[in-house]
Amino acid sequence: MSRKAGEPTILAVLFMTGGVRKGYRAGQYLAYWAFASERRGHELSLEEYGEYWKTSRATCYRERGYLAASLPKGVEAGAVEHALWEHMQSQKASRKAARNQAEALAELSNLPWAVVV
């Protein structure tokens, strides 16, 4: 799905709602989650995310907390992850997989918010 002029991106919504610090951390978590999910071939649970990145459970919950704090009211973090996964699967044939976290974040920065809602 390509973004229309004036339509906010996922990262823009995270920054507008959570501020610069939380919005950045939320976007970073989403990019890392998407990267790891794509590598594993399925939508990762929080525990699987922690195993992939070799981080503690507390760190995983803290990182996902930044996402939850940066979303508009009524939007759940799990729903955003699921929508992102579905979008990645629908675009699988036409896009190449991100080779690293920076590419995953760059791809996420151009994704329209309409993918989530």
Give 59-83 pLDDT, tens digit per residue: 999 999 999 999 999 999 999 999 9
> Is residue 80 in a domain?
yes
What is the total count of domains within the chain? 1
Q: Report yes or no on 4 lying in a domain.
A: no
**Residue 102: inside a domain, yes or no?**
yes
82 domain-assigned: yes
Assign 15 a pLDDT band (cuts: 50, 70, 90): very high
What is the pTM (predicted TM-score) of this model? 0.84
The range of the structural domain enclosing residue 83 comes to 10-115
- pLDDT confidence tier of residue 90, bands split at 50, 70 and 90: confident
Does residue 2 sit within a domain? no
Is the pLDDT score of 54 beyond 90?
Answer: yes
The b-or-e profile of 64-89 (16+ CB within 10 A means b, else e) is bebbbbbbeeebebeebbebbbebbe
Examine residue 5 and state whether it is found in any structural domain, yes or no: no
